[in-house]
Amino acid sequence: YGQTKLIGEWMIDNQITASQMRGTTFNAVKLRYFNVAGAGWNELADTAVMNLIPIVLGRLKDGKAPIIFGDDYDTPDGTCIRDYVHVKDLAEAHIAALDYMKAGGTTETVFNVGTGTGASVKEVIDTIAEVTGRDIVPDMGERRAGDPPALVADVTRISALLSWKAEFGLEEIVRSAVEAAGMLPELD
């Protein structure tokens, strides 16, 4: 996955170089998304099971326990840590990048789009349990090949050059995803 994203960045760089050789201008900014999650609106629920939050919600809907792939990583609770960014924050990052380009920003810049903080798999599942009002006991699986212990965005550049900062935290991301999935608990 990471390799294909890097190849995409190389293609953008090649287009910039080719346009310069032709005496034209091709402007681009490269955004590196971290784990995009949550829902901006309920009708735009993330139904693709491509990251942890919709995977866990899907398993809960199917009456199955979520699976944690490894609990022996060198992290505080032994589970992998990832940087989750709300889809609304991602949209705002795109607007900030467009404004940056419009103001004459350089095209050689890559920006990480994340929060700069991470949450472990266990923390995400615990947050889903809290928001849904369910007692969730995950199954423990073996580590997946290639999973690093932690991946968290360095947001220094996007903050400095685009004045962009994620506004939503893990609880808000999970709450929006749970609500969009129709899984909020009934209030008495």
Residue labelled with tokens 């808000």:
172
User: Distance between CA atoms of 95 and 99, rounded to whole angstroms?
Assistant: 6
User: Distance between CA atoms of 177 and 86, rounded to whole angstroms?
Assistant: 10
The verdict on whether 100 is a catalytic residue reads: no
- What does DSSP assign to residue 182? T
- What does DSSP assign to residue 50? -
Q: Which of 109, 101, 106, 90 is nearest to 33 (CA)?
A: 90
Residue labelled with tokens 């491509």:
50
**CB neighbours (10 Å) of residue 21?**
8
**Catalytic residue positions?**
1
